[in-house]
């Protein structure tokens, strides 16, 4: 097959798009930026972190209603892989592609630090390079990262200790089909040990290997 292709959606206010693009290219993806009016032509779609539309109304609420939203939903229905990181996670929740809600941190403050996580599910396309129960380190940078459950969800990663008041220490989840992954920590900021951790590398390697092995939606 062709080289797996990734597209990074850049919203007004995104600020982790370049890191996400670099991470995709680093593991072998043919990667490019797209905007809110673009067509989707990818095997992996990345919704990056940032403060889309200044977090007005609710975090991710405006971005979730842009023209590309329906295209993302169609992409998901065809089996395309989507990862939403931090603000991208918030957008996926607002789109209804992931369950739950993301509210202000329990301490009312923006939190920026490296945290310990536990890998709960390594059977997803995004976590096959991890061991179940493995502890890893990823950075967080959010003010509205407190995950609140509204139903049973497929938990992929948990915080080892309470960071932001999230229900059941939840840090990342997938949809039922496991092709949509929302994660508050930033794997794209943990690609090399010099950054404090290279555990994020395996998130992107997992996705790349999954597409190489199983084929992407582009054929």
Residues labelled as active-site residues = 86, 186, 188
CA angle, residues 192, 206, 98, in degrees to nearest 5? 105
Alpha-carbon distance of 186 to 184, in angstroms, equals 7
CB 186, CB 86: distance < 8 Å: yes
Strands 135-142 and 111-119: antiparallel
CA-based nearest residue to 178, from 125, 217, 120, 109: 125
Provide φ and ψ at 21, rounded to 5°. Answer: -65, -45
SS3 for 41?
A: coil
CA-based nearest residue to 10, from 40, 39, 46: 46
CA-based nearest residue to 135, from 158, 118, 113: 118
**Which token pair is 40?**
């989707």
Alpha-carbon distance of 156 to 122, in angstroms, equals 7
Alpha-carbon distance of 122 to 130, in angstroms, equals 6
């Amino acid at each position: 097959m062709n080289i797996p292709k990734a597209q990074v959606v850049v919203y007004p206010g995104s600020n982790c798009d370049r890191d996400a693009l670099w991470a995709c290219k680093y593991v072998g993806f043919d990667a490019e930026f797209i905007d809110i009016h673009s067509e989707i032509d990818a095997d992996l779609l990345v919704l990056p972190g940032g403060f889309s539309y200044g977090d007005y109304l609710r975090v991710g609420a405006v971005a979730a209603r842009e023209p590309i939203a329906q295209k993302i939903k169609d992409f998901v229905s065809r089996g395309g892989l989507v990862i939403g990181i931090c603000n991208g996670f918030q957008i996926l929740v607002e789109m209804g592609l992931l369950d739950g809600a993301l509210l202000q941190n329990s301490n009312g403050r923006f939190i920026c630090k490296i945290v310990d996580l536990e890998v709960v599910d390594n059977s997803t396309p995004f976590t096959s390079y991890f061991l179940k129960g493995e502890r890893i380190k990823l950075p967080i940078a959010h003010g509205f990262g407190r995950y609140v459950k509204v139903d049973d969800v497929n938990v992929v990663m948990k915080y080892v200790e309470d960071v932001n008041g999230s229900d059941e220490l939840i840090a990342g989840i997938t949809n039922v089909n496991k092709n949509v992954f929302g994660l508050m920590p930033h794997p794209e900021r943990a690609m090399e040990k010099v950054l404090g951790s290279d555990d994020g590398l395996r998130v992107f390697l997992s996705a790349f290997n999954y597409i190489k092995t199983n084929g992407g939606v582009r054929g």
